[in-house]
């Protein structure tokens, strides 16, 4: 198996991948954070980050037809500009940490962002390009650990946006963020043949999960499901934090 995973680990990660793809198909975000937070419970999540980013890009291909016309490109470009400033430092930092430190870092970031999302925090005025640029910097800082979408999701959730616009903008932003990050991960030696093998195994699960999530999006409230996804992230973050602390 890729990444020297045991059969039990591989099955558990496959189930997590399918569930995370369903969340992405439904809400437009949460795939990387859910999968990486779960992976941190059973293995070193760092080598899996390039696989996760490749999966994000593939899922956008699956979803492209349904999101055209809903993307807020001004937000996307401002967010990506900010992220690009911070990404090199972020990737270098995460590569310098040991496995236990990576797990602890991932769990703490997911926990903090989940609490922000759950708090119902809202913004009282319209935020322009400088504000989105600043949030993009925070996203770039977090994306070395593979969870750069959470700060942006928290920020956009706090603003009045139609569900279709929120979902489409998150999908396109995450794709751009991953495309910027992948060359940095390659330069750091994280992209290997195991990355390609992992992506090949993940492909059918991605398609199924995104398709099921997209169907659910058409039939239910994205706001309700985002709350469920955040509760799941919170639970995974707490479990990961407990495991990281016990290993110190």
Nearest to 45 by CA among 35, 58, 53: 35
Please count the CA atoms within 13 angstroms of the CA of 167 that sit on its side-chain side: 26
pLDDT band at 124 (very low <50, low <70, confident <90, very high): confident
Q: For residue 247, what pLDDT band results from cuts at 50, 70 and 90? A: low
* Mean pLDDT on 108-122: 77
pLDDT at res. 199: 93
Model pLDDT for residues 18-45, shown as the tens digit of each residue:
999 998 888 787 888 889 888 888 888 8
Model pLDDT for residues 79-102, shown as the tens digit of each residue = 999 999 999 998 998 888 876 777
Phi, psi of 127 (to 5 degrees): -100, 130
Is 248 a residue whose pLDDT tops 60? no
With 70 as the cut, is the pLDDT of residue 220 above it?
Answer: no
Q: What is the pLDDT of residue 36?
A: 87
The average pLDDT across 102-124 equals: 76
Indicate the pLDDT class of residue 226, thresholds 50, 70 and 90.
low
Angle (deg, nearest 10), helices 163-187 and 7-27 = 140
| CA 239 to the chain's CA centroid | 18
pLDDT range class, residue 222, cuts 50, 70, 90 = low
Long-range contacts of 133-136 (CB under 8 A, 24+ apart): 133/78, 133/79, 133/81, 133/82, 134/82, 135/79, 135/82, 136/78, 136/79, 136/80, 136/81, 136/82, 136/83, 136/84, 136/85, 136/86
Asked if residues 6 and 122 have their Cβ atoms less than 8 Å apart, the reply is no
> Residue 223 corresponds to which tokens in the numbers above?
């706001």
Q: What is the pLDDT of residue 216?
A: 79
Residue 231 pLDDT grade (very low, low, confident, very high; cuts 50, 70, 90) = confident
**Residue 8: pLDDT band with limits 50, 70, 90:** very high
What's the rounded Cα separation, in Å, for the pair 131 and 140?
A: 14
Q: In this predicted structure, what is the pLDDT of residue 95?
A: 85
More confident of the two residues 156 and 181 = 181
Q: What is the pLDDT of residues 159-212, one digit of tens each?
A: 777 888 888 898 899 999 999 999 999 998 999 999 999 999 999 999 899 888
Instruction: Burial-class residue 37 by CB neighbours within 10 Å (0-12, 13-18, 19+).
Output: buried
Burial of 130 (0-12, 13-18, 19+ CB in 10 A): exposed
Query: CA separation (Å) from 74 to 79, 173, 176, 204?
Result: 9, 11, 13, 33
The per-residue pLDDT for range 133-154, each reduced to its tens digit, is 999 998 998 888 888 888 888 8
Q: pTM to 2 decimals?
A: 0.82
């Amino acid at each position: 198996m890729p990444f020297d995973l045991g059969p039990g680990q591989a099955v558990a990660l496959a189930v997590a991948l399918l569930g995370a793809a369903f969340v992405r198909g439904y809400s437009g975000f949460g795939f990387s954070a859910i999968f990486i937070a779960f992976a941190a419970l059973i293995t070193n999540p760092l080598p899996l980050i390039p696989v996760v980013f490749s999966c994000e890009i593939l899922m956008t291909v699956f979803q492209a037809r349904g999101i055209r016309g809903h993307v807020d490109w001004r937000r996307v470009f401002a967010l990506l500009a900010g992220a690009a400033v911070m990404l090199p430092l972020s990737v270098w930092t995460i590569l310098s940490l040991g496995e236990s430190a990576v797990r602890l870092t991932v769990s703490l970031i997911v926990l903090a962002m989940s609490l922000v999302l759950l708090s119902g925090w809202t913004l009282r005025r319209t935020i322009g390009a400088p504000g989105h640029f600043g949030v993009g910097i925070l996203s770039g800082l977090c994306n070395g650990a593979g969870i750069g979408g959470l700060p942006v999701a928290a920020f956009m959730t706090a603003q009045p946006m139609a569900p279709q616009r929120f979902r489409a903008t998150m999908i396109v932003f995450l794709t751009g963020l991953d495309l910027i990050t992948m060359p940095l991960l390659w330069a750091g030696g994280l992209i290997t043949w195991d990355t390609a093998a992992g992506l090949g195994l993940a492909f059918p699960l991605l398609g199924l999960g995104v398709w099921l999530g997209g169907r659910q999006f058409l039939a239910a409230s994205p706001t309700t499901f985002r709350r469920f996804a955040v509760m799941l992230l919170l639970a995974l973050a707490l479990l990961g934090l407990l495991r990281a602390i016990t290993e110190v």
